[in-house]
Structure 1
Amino acid sequence: MNIRNQVSESIVMMATEPHKLRFRSLVRESLRLRSKASSEYPDQVLYSEGTDYIVDYESGTIKRTAASSIPDWSKHPTYGKSDFNHSDYPDITNQTYILYADYEYFDPTAASDVAVGSEALSRILAKLANSEPVTYVVFGDSISTGAEVSEEANKFHNRFAETLRRRFPGAAIDVRMKAIGGESSEGGLKRLQDDVIAQAPDLVTIGYGMNDQNKQANGTNAISPAQFERNIATMIEAVQKHTEADIVLITPCLPNPLWTYASPNVTDYADKLRELGFKYRVGVADLQRIWLDELTAGKTHESLLINNVNHPNDYGHSLYAQALNSLLSSN
């Protein structure tokens, strides 16, 4: 049985209710809880086990004590509310409620951490292996911009670029931010030429779906799954025709289902991206599968979303980076 490390897992706790951690069977006395995503913040608050929180190491749960100094999410303005509109509140951020935990846990599997092999990044990996400079264009909506993440280094595209630099020391990776907050695939398609193709990219990540799925007053999506599929297909075809870039489609995370604009069919958009990845032989960083695994394991929407609506927090961006890293060949 292997012992593994979980680093900077985000947690939101309410009253004295137990919150499930991502993994079970924790190593006793291994959990450390802090207020910031990075342990290097100068204004870091470290919480004390027994005084501020209690851990059940066997079941993998954590809860506040009655006299805890940990912020209580039951005081959040949207606590207990359904079908809420974020515009009705001056501030619904989860920033002040999110904590970060490091701990060790027992993994019953004997498998080692080996990345999934793929040809999706063959061109860029060959260039990096030859010490050639590469241009990485980040295309998409506010999630791709890294909206509300605590620092630049924690945004998924910078995490991924740093993984490549560690694998290829001295690699010259020019990350160009061409994502725009609030945009759907319709808007992205209109600026594809100037913001992607004209950049002569070696790698393009395309991250749309969250704004496309938005539920309208009549119950329909802002952009239907069928139109979304056509938009992304057009992007892929244009990039493949006019550049030699590797393309990676990123499936979207899930919005808070209690948010008034969250549609019940957001998984349809991920399905379309998987189908397009197969059809055009491009990479798919399947974040949504990872996100669903987190929720199934007991993570809550508020513990993964910094704005309690649709923006992943620092831990959420580490999951996005995990999805991208899975495309790296283990060779």
Structure 2
Amino acid sequence: MRRTFLAPTLTAGVLLACLATVSVATSPDVNSTTAQAATVELAAPFERLQHELEKQWPHNRMVRIVFHGHSVPAGYFKTPIVRAFDAYPSLFHRQLCEQYPTAVIDVSVTAIGGENAVSGAARFERDVLSLRPDLVFIDYCLNDRRVGLENAAEAWRSMIRNALDANVRVVLLTPTPDLHEDILDSTTPLGLHAQQVRDLAEEFGVSISDSYAAFANRASAGEDLQKFMAQGNHPNRAGHEIVASELSKLMRAQAN
């Protein structure tokens, strides 16, 4: 039986404003109203970032976005071939520049082929936060199957906490397909890791771009996912375009 996967929906006005929502500790002399206002203030920086993207010279500044993960955001197609300009970070960069034509936007890719979230978390402060990013995307599920759900969850939590502590907004990505697993079966190893990322997004109140659901919906509709893949576990240009399109939808949601 085929099932249709739908990406999690966030309410209007919350989707991107909640990219940096974190808990606020209150002391006995701070009432609940003040605490709520502080939480809103922590969530508001994305709105300010959007204003930065809309500014024109000489009032604009560089906005920096970092993609952290494994071989897919690094641009590996059929290993060992790398096509970074056909990978979703570059495609998204171009779409974002078209959406905000007066913005200066830097996209840095700190992804390493073959890496999992445990290794990515170990270098997160050195390689990601040192760039002083405005926004970080995290994509590790494909390789996290090697370390298991528990170790992967601990590593993702570490990266999310470190980013939020630095007042950096975070978007989590579920994986692109692996043709060796049935994407319509939510109990496969990759399906379980995809669900864990959805759960982490809810746990921390950060946003998610559900690539896995986007591909699953195509498979459920009868499309052959092979046409989106360069090899069994790496998308081709068409596959990367699906991921970039999902990211653009996410970024446009609050502007509409």
> What TM-score bracket applies, with the shorter chain setting the length?
0.7 to 0.9
Q: Specify which of 255, 264, 283 is matched with residue 178 of structure 2.
A: 255
Give 1:274's aligned amino acid. Answer: R
Please say which structure displays the higher CA radius of gyration.
Answer: 1
Match of 2:50 in 1: 125
Give 1:291's aligned amino acid. Answer: F
For residue 66 of structure 2, give the secondary structure of its aligned residue in structure 1: strand
What CA distance in whole angstroms lies between the structure 2 residues aligned with 1:118 and 1:177? 21
What CA distance in whole angstroms lies between the structure 2 residues aligned with 1:228 and 1:156? 23
Question: Identity of paired residues, percent?
Answer: 27
Where in structure 2 are the equivalents of 1:109-120 lying within 5 Å?
118-119=16-17, 120=19
Match of 2:90 in 1: 158
Where in structure 2 are the equivalents of 1:1-331 lying within 5 Å?
118-119=16-17, 120=19, 121-130=46-55, 131-148=60-77, 151-213=83-145, 222-241=146-165, 243-257=166-180, 264-307=188-231, 309-328=232-251, 329-331=254-256
**1:122 shift after superposition:** 3.5
CA contact (8 A) 1:124 1:246 kept: no
Q: Runs in 1 of length 4+ with deviation above 6 angstroms?
A: none
**1:124 shift after superposition:** 3.2
**1:117 shift after superposition:** 5.2
What CA distance in whole angstroms lies between the structure 2 residues aligned with 1:276 and 1:314? 28
**1:159 shift after superposition:** 1.6
**1:151 shift after superposition:** 4.8
**1:127 shift after superposition:** 2.2
Match of 2:11 in 1: none
For residue 223 of structure 2, give the secondary structure of its aligned residue in structure 1: coil
Comparing 175-184 and 157-166, the one that deviates more: 157-166
What CA distance in whole angstroms lies between the structure 2 residues aligned with 1:117 and 1:183? 29
CA contact (8 A) 2:181 2:188 kept: no
For residue 240 of structure 1, give the secondary structure of its aligned residue in structure 2: helix
What CA distance in whole angstroms lies between the structure 1 residues aligned with 2:189 and 2:200? 18
Unaligned runs of 5+ in 1: 1-115, 214-221
What CA distance in whole angstroms lies between the structure 2 residues aligned with 1:230 and 1:122? 29
CA contact (8 A) 2:69 2:112 kept: yes
User: If the length of structure 2 is used for normalisation, what is the TM-score?
Assistant: 0.73
Comparing 298-307 and 134-143, the one that deviates more: 298-307
**1:195 shift after superposition:** 0.7
For residue 169 of structure 1, give the secondary structure of its aligned residue in structure 2: coil
What CA distance in whole angstroms lies between the structure 1 residues aligned with 2:47 and 2:192? 28
**1:304 shift after superposition:** 1.9
For residue 272 of structure 1, give the secondary structure of its aligned residue in structure 2: helix
**1:165 shift after superposition:** 1.2
What CA distance in whole angstroms lies between the structure 1 residues aligned with 2:243 and 2:52? 23
CA contact (8 A) 2:67 2:107 kept: yes
Match of 2:10 in 1: none
For residue 247 of structure 1, give the secondary structure of its aligned residue in structure 2: strand
Alignment RMSD: 2.4
What CA distance in whole angstroms lies between the structure 2 residues aligned with 1:184 and 1:123? 32
What CA distance in whole angstroms lies between the structure 1 residues aligned with 2:111 and 2:135? 14
User: How many residues align structurally?
Assistant: 205
Greater percentage in helix: 2
CA contact (8 A) 2:76 2:84 kept: no
What CA distance in whole angstroms lies between the structure 1 residues aligned with 2:202 and 2:76? 29
**1:295 shift after superposition:** 1.1
Match of 1:81 in 2: none
What CA distance in whole angstroms lies between the structure 2 residues aligned with 1:225 and 1:124? 33
